[in-house]
Amino acid sequence: MRFVVRLLVNALALWLTVLILHPHVEVSSWDGAADAADWSWPLFWTYVLLAVVFGIVNGVVGTAIKIVAFPLYVLTLGLISLIVNGLLFVLVAWISSRVDFGLSVETFWWGVLGAVVLGVIGWLLGIILRPLTKRKR
């Protein structure tokens, strides 16, 4: 249950990020729907699938980069994480473009901003919905 709630929170955070950064960050589904304001089931499942891809990329690639680049994190007092998260955001866009639907980002810097906005929204939603994802003892 916790996994499903976290997945839906990440999908909602991505949807809000696309609404905020719309002309520069877009999501399109396999049925051609590209406007985040127009709701459809294929677009909903696209956001859920992108949340899964984000989770896999952050879990595998993000962890490997953070381990290898640990000295850079220390030297820059963690500011390199903005660049790393932007790269991961653009990587998800590239992966989803290979299957002809998903996330598209205009430039790398819009990817960095998208990663920041996604992180802030995900954090806020996580705080609001924490009682649903809390472990019972």
Write out the two tokens for 29. Answer: 């589904």
Q: Please say whether the beta carbons of 103 and 48 come within 8 A.
A: no
Q: Strand ranges (DSSP E) for the chain?
A: 25-28, 102-105
Tens-place pLDDT, residues 34-85: 665 677 888 889 999 999 999 999 999 999 999 999 999 999 999 999 999 9
pLDDT at 32: 65
pTM for this entry: 0.87
User: In terms of DSSP H, where are the helices of 21-79?
Assistant: 41-57, 63-68, 70-75
